[in-house]
Structure 1
Amino acid sequence: MIEEEMPNIVLCAETHFTLNISESEINIVGYNHIRCDSHSRHTRGVLIYTHKAIECKVVYNNSINNNLWCIVIKTLNNTIKWQIGLVYHSPNSSDAEFIKYIGEILEEYFSENENNVIGDFNINVNLQSTYTNQLSHTFATTSMHQLINFNTRVTETSQTRIDLLYSNSDEIEIKNMENQRISDHETICFNLPVQKRHTMRIYEFRVFCNNYTKENLIALLRNYNFMEANDCDIGLKVQAINSILCDIMGMLTYEKRVQIKLVNKWYDRKLNELNKLKYELFKLAKNTNEWDNYNHTKRHYKKSIKIKRNNLWKIK
């Protein structure tokens, strides 16, 4: 695949690599690699290949409680300035803990820059659940939203969307490379813009009812034969009526993805200025070796984030 496509960066989730796999076994000519190994040859682990023409540094590389494997890199080329995170979440571990860990990593490493997080989340976003909603909200608080719109794991008995890409850019080109499919997972190709970053925003789906009127509702109801449900028991009658009403509302309303600026959300201008101050103090401390002001500001910044976010949850 690499010989055919010549990508700049290759992200591999669930590598099954352990420390027993030597560097020479995974070397690819022309590429550097960063690995976060599993404890088992049967599952887990992540790996990133970067073309040697791409300058980057490793920002984070860790596994947490056999739940999450994560590598974060930052590209340093003048024309490519992105921070990219690769994750794998074990399906045998807690989704709630995984989302908590992801939230902490986002707070620490993804508060600025152009950001992408991609990987095998093992949370099927085709289904609405507590965890899919929490995952979406966790990324939305850092202005990131999910871009994959096709099923990424397809078997004879199921089709799920568990390989996901969250980003704070709408200009990413994504395609499903069906001819490069590995196992039962799709291979995803995405192209990043080299400049321009969106201001802070959040996306959500809203229902619009421009076509809804009492007259239209009555007219559509008259097209259905409710008598067919007379011979059914009460449970089937309820299902039949509910199905009819859903069909009608689908005709009278439509769902649209809208962009909302993060006005009065928890990550406000004060936090943004505090984060900038933290970064300036960090650069100063590296030169002077005086870390007290930086450490104090960093603690204040992290405490302020937790307070703001908790207040938002209380309001909701």
Structure 2
Amino acid sequence: MQRLKSLIFLVAFGISAFSFAQQSYTINGESLALKTEVSGTIDLLWNTFDKQYRYFVKKDGQYYELVNTRVDGKYQEEYKSTLNELTAGNGLSTDRLRMTLAGLRSFINDYNASVDPNYTSNSETVALETRLGIFGGVTNNRYTSNPQNAIAPLVGVEFEILDSKLLPRHAIVFQFRQTFAVEDFDYTASQLSLNYRFKFVKSATVDVFANARLATYTYSKTVITSTDQAENSVDMEVSGGNLQAPILLGLGADVKLGNGYLTLAYNDLVGLTIDDNGEFPVDFSLGYKFNL
């Protein structure tokens, strides 16, 4: 049952990421899922198929594939001829243009800017943004032994890095979480984790994302009660740290509020490479995130 839930969640996650990251086009009778790299007088579209890059440009509603075939060991560089025809009269040279994503992006941005004074260049390769968040919540520590299924409080802080220009739907998050002991469960844990987020709904006011906790270092401390030979109860404190790659999947949302975002999360719903204790997942957090 656990494996089935994990598989369903992973498939849904992959479908969401695929569908929102690219769009389908029909070019010369071929149906292709392509990513838009540059939008302007000329659009640049691309994707990989069977580990091979394919590039397309669109001008005046017409699509053209950029190709660089190899004959007798020599590249024919047909893409240069195609671009020369589409950009004729603008003084741009393709002599040193390589058929790479960065090279084509720069060339087409230069052309778009030369014919449209209001054009905003897409040539930035990196436009990093960072956000700092604090949060609190509750958890039933589903991935530890929790016989009473006790609910414990947690607090944390996270640092998010994203590229708002080229990869606005993707983010890397470094997070620290501290869970506390409660009467029915004398267990505390300090955890550092590396997370990946895909924002499958993105708008000016709200982002909805899937979160994958990829790697964790957890230092925990718990008290175990045992019985000695005289049948007396003996409490023993057990502590230690461990490094794991649990692949824990969850969901969350960032809602625009003031100069930052109100963040809600339902964490660690499914563990793909780690066993749970069989209880229903209870791991909710609420916080606020600031733009740095």
TM-score by length of 1: 0.20
The structure that is strand-richer by fraction is 2
Q: Which has the higher contact order (CA 8 A, sep 6+)?
A: 2
Bigger Rg, which one: 2
TM-score for the superposition, normalised by structure 2:
0.22
